[in-house]
A and B are shown apart, each in its own frame.
Chain A
Amino acid sequence: MPLNTSAPAQTGEYRPLIVAFCCNWCSYAGADLAGSSRLTYPADVKIIRVPCSCRVNPLFVLKAFERGADGVILCGCHPGDCHYTTGNYYTRRRMTLLFSMLDYLGIERERTRVEWVSAAEGAKFSATMNDFARTIRALGENRKLRDLRCGN
């Protein structure tokens, strides 16, 4: 699978909305590296910088879905490499349980993801985002977990 497969949008083509929370120290830097290495991924992915993946409250994830996001991905330092030593360990537990609950409620399990991307893994960042965007595109619009009032 080639890394750089983001095609420009065709008119009328379904474009998902993807929110990516990236920790400042590893994944945001990894995304920067993807950028400086010109490793493309779809423009559907919009990154929000947080100090550590453990800053991401499940509310933020649900808020994104409420607002019509089609997929939410969290990226942090690899377990054991957290800038704050233990933050991503908590992230891992929290998101594991949250995603499991969303799955239990019948929300498509592919809509959420956690990936560990280090500051050196620009290629992994790009590959991850390409893959996630592809998955979400295949899933289609988030209908089960959005607030219909939004966007009106």
Chain B
Amino acid sequence: MSLYAMDRARLGELYEALGALGRVYLPTRKNGASAFLPYGEEGSEADLSLLLCDKSPKDLFFPQSEELVKFRLTGAEIALQEAARQKEPFVLFGVKACDLQAIEVLDRVFLAEPVDSFYQSRREHATVVALACARPAESCFCTAFGIDPTSPQGPCDAVAWLTESALYLRPCTEKGETIVSCFAGFAPADEKEVAAQQAAARAVLGRLPYGQLDLSRFGEASDELALFDHPAWEELSAHCLGCGSCTFSCPTCQCYDIRDYDTGKGVLRFRCWDSCMYKDFTMMAHGTPRKTQKERFRQRFLHKLVYYPKNNGGLFSCVGCGRCVKKCPANLHMIRVAKALGGEPRAQ
């Protein structure tokens, strides 16, 4: 498909124009943290040059908490009211290659039978624009998963590159084309500047400390039992605090809990993210299946590196975004685990 370019100074106009396609979500700084937030909110600053937002775009398809159904009580009568699905279209602009792959990971969970209609309605109403990376960080290791951050691929409608002076856009679906057509500032462009940026970025990618993280023991063909019984888990998990900062920062974690809230006039049933690191994860009357933090810790990492790939044709459910590297209070992140399990067990 053809490549277009626009003046970087006119990004604001672009965002305004995109408003015609629905609400526009952009990488945004607000109150000292970053997330994909609607354009134009007070006190917020949209910034495409952000490498990664603190929060991934996962929220827009799978929000942290969402209402499913409401039971209204009038006397002894109970009326049931299902929550509305997404009806308004929206634009998600500036998704990096890793986060884009994460959407693919989520799609395979929520869009597989039985289809999750809440997720589905949001995916259908979204126009997703990916954005290539120009300046990767040391914590990035997407390349280890075969992701090319300079040329994002996956479930998106267009791919963009942000250079010093311009924003380049290559639509890849019809929806993507509408982005070009709704803003007059786009003009056909050649690949020169994009290619130069990609070359420069690839040079940096080659120097990433964990860009070539050895994942050969994991994936579809891995020795599941050997990994499960690996002696390294004990020490790896020993100082895990059991919080959910990894899970809730992760662009692919998709576990949720369904809960009821008593509103006084009835009951509101909602679902919210859950973390397999929590000790009350899947708590039932008799207790929980994973009783120690080691088991919970192992579950999370093996799910990303073994179980999910085995069910999904080898696709890892880690995308190497590096959020867990930055967020874990005890620094027990994917790189550490992959290294510890990938090589020989450490001498005790």
B interface list, Cβ under 8 A from A = 70, 261, 263-266, 268
Contact = CB atoms under 8 A, between A and B. Distances in A.
8 contacts: A149-B263, A149-B268, A150-B263, A151-B263, A151-B265, A152-B265, A152-B266, A152-B268
A149 B65 CA distance: 13
A150 B262 CA distance: 8
Contacts, number: 14
A67 interface: yes
State the majority secondary structure of interface residues on A. loop
Given A149-B261, A151-B264, 12 more contacts: A67-B264, A149-B263, A149-B268, A150-B263, A150-B264, A151-B263, A151-B265, A152-B70, A152-B263, A152-B265, A152-B266, A152-B268
A149 B261 CA distance: 9
A150 B70 CA distance: 12
A150 B267 CA distance: 10
Which of B264, B265, B268: most chain A CB closer than 10 A?
B264
A67 B268 CA distance: 14
Interface in A114-150: 149-150
Interface residues of A, number: 5
State the majority secondary structure of interface residues on B. strand
Task: Name the 9 nearest CB pairs between A and B, nearest first.
Answer: A149-B263, A150-B263, A150-B264, A152-B263, A149-B268, A151-B264, A149-B261, A151-B265, A152-B265
A150 B261 CA distance: 9
Nearest to A152: B263
Contacts of B264: 67, 150-151
Contacts of B266: 152
A34 B266 CA distance: 35
Interface string A59-90: 00000000100000000000000000000000
A21 B268 CA distance: 28
Nearest to A148: B263
Nearest to B67: A149
A129 to B, nearest CB: 24
A48 to B, nearest CB: 16
B269 to A, nearest CB: 11
Nearest to A67: B264
Which of B70, B263, B265, B268: most chain A CB closer than 10 A?
B263
